[in-house]
């Protein structure tokens, strides 16, 4: 038996645009995504000689074939023809669920990277990311990591220059949003503002942190904020204590702020932690 170890890193959406509904019922997206240092830890025993198992340190997470990490292991083994002769997956959860931070997708991506490394890297990182699209929309980016333009259902990736050094504050309020329900709601309204992805890309090319912060925009943000005014409160605290820019990530409900230094981030955390215990300081990676 061999035990594999892999970090599973969260993501934030610097921009997120919904371009329209596709014939298959999914939506075409365009998003600049960024990996951040909040992480789960994934351990995989390969060659257990027993039926597959999965365990997770957090309650309420599926521990069977519904879990994206389990699906990722199955997809990898089926596509490469590898027989692991028994797999046991253990996930130590730190990325909050229902936050828009891609926690389940990050776990799946970690499984893909770990198994690929274990078997001598039969797949390139981009081929591995493409395989991840069979598991979930955010899995390809979470497999690649870094900074990238993500399009289609999440399967089309184009790496971008790395985000300038900064510190993130990430705050997860005590509610989550149903992503399918949010898409249905978005389908019934005209989207008044779209992110300028070209301007965001130019800001990254220039390495201009303030310009990156100025271009943050997520079309889901105003839809969710209309029903959950605590998001405005979180953003206002971030803004009052030095944030360069702040918005919701993914379909929510976490808000992230780009802070100029750890010291500013620590002040914001101190101001929010009593009302919002799900608060983190992170770096872009």
- For the annotated catalytic residues, the residue numbers are 11, 138
Asked whether the bond before 255 is cis by omega within 30 degrees of 0, the reply is: no
- Beta pairing partners, 88: 45, 53
Is the distance from CB of 88 to CB of 45 less than 8 angstroms? Answer: yes
Between the CA of residue 183 and those of 45, 163, 178, 180, 204, what are the distances in Å?
38, 28, 9, 5, 29
C-alpha torsion sign, points 173, 103, 238, 151: negative
Alpha carbons within 13 angstroms on the beta-carbon side of residue 203 total 20
Euclidean distance between the first and final Cα of the chain, in Å? 32
Alpha-carbon distance of 280 to 262, in angstroms, equals 11
Closest CA to 51 of 64, 42, 41: 64
Is the distance from CB of 275 to CB of 263 less than 8 angstroms? Answer: no
């Amino acid at each position: 038996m061999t035990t594999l170890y892999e970090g599973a890193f969260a993501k934030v959406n610097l921009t997120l645009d919904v371009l329209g509904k596709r014939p298959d019922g999914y939506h075409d997206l365009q998003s600049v995504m960024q990996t951040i240092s909040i992480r789960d830890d994934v351990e995989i025993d390969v060659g257990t000689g027993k039926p597959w198992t999965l365990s997770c340190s957090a309650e309420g997470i599926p521990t069977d074939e519904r879990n994206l990490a389990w699906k990722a292991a199955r997809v990898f083994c089926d596509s490469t023809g590898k027989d692991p002769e028994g797999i046991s997956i253990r996930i130590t959860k730190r990325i909050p669920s229902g936050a828009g931070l891609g926690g389940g997708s990050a776990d799946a991506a970690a499984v893909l990277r770990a198994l690929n490394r274990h078997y001598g890297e039969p797949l390139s990182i981009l081929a591995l990311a493409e395989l991840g699209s069979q598991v979930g929309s955010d899995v390809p980016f979470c497999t690649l990591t870094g900074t990238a333009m993500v399009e289609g259902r999440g399967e089309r990736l184009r790496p971008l220059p790395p985000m300038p050094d900064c510190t993130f504050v990430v705050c997860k309020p005590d509610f989550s949003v149903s992503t399918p329900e949010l898409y249905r709601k978005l389908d019934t309204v005209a989207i008044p503002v779209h992110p300028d992805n070209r301007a965001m890309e130019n800001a990254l090319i220039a390495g201009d942190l303030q310009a990156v912060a100025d271009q943050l925009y997520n079309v889901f943000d105003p839809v969710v904020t209309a029903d959950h005014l605590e998001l405005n409160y979180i953003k206002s605290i971030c803004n009052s204590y030095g944030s360069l820019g702040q918005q919701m990530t993914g379909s929510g409900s976490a808000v992230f702020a780009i802070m100029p230094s750890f010291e500013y981030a620590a002040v914001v955390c101190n101001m929010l932690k009593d009302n919002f215990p799900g608060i983190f300081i992170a770096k872009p990676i």
